[in-house]
Homo-oligomer: A and B are copies of this chain.
Amino acid sequence: MEFNEKQISIINTAERLFSINGFDGTSVRDIAHEAGINVAMISYYFGSKEKLMEAVFEQKTSKMRLKVENMLQEEKLTNHEKVNILIEDYVDRFLSQPQFHKVMLLEQLSDKPGGIAGMIDELKKRNLALIKKLIQEGQKSGEFKKNIDIALMMATMVGTVSQMIISRRFYREVNNMEHLPEEEFTNYIRKKLCAHLKNLFKSTLTNEEKK
């Protein structure tokens, strides 16, 4: 789907407001006002508020697909390195687009199966399949141990990052980092999160040294 300049402006505004106030908590009048357009333009361009939401999802996910798939086929990297790159990619992506992440969480929470929730499930399935293949190759080569619940590990990765975005302010406060500029703090938790997740994955995927 291709969107013109004005449509993209609407999509971006909608994304921001949805992430702050939720889908039901955001009115089309709010969106129109902040985007500087007439309310009717939303129906005109997207058909409905619901369809606008789908356009937001479409716009934000379509870009990030190919990148990962190419990386996984890179032959120079060990499977372990690929896992680490995946972690870095994931953390990066969602720290730079926390608003969209929130919208996705909100949509998953209100699990009326139709619409966005289904699109998210498909996205997850594709990602799960890619990672599954990666892990299995690592198991063949002896890098990773057997009996790994990949979906459970994904839940840990996704969940930890989500929780960090949700409780960002809380984390900032308990670490006495209110003085840091927003950007520096983002960088700080990016590093923290990456290191933390890499450690978790390492100890879960590889055989522990015999004690």
Contacts and interface: CB of A to CB of B under 8 A. Distances in A.
Given A110-B21, A196-B156, A151 B175 contact: yes
A142 interface: no
Copies of this chain present in the complex amount to: 2
A158 interface: yes
Interface residues of A, number: 48
A38 to B, nearest CB: 24
Given A175-B151, A203-B203, A204-B200, A109 B170 contact: no
Interface of A: 19-25, 102, 105-106, 108-111, 121, 124-125, 128, 149, 151-152, 155-156, 158-164, 166-167, 169-171, 174-175, 192-193, 196, 199-200, 203-204, 208-211
Given A156-B196, A159-B164, A203-B203, 9 more contacts: A21-B24, A22-B106, A109-B166, A155-B167, A158-B159, A159-B159, A159-B160, A199-B204, A208-B208
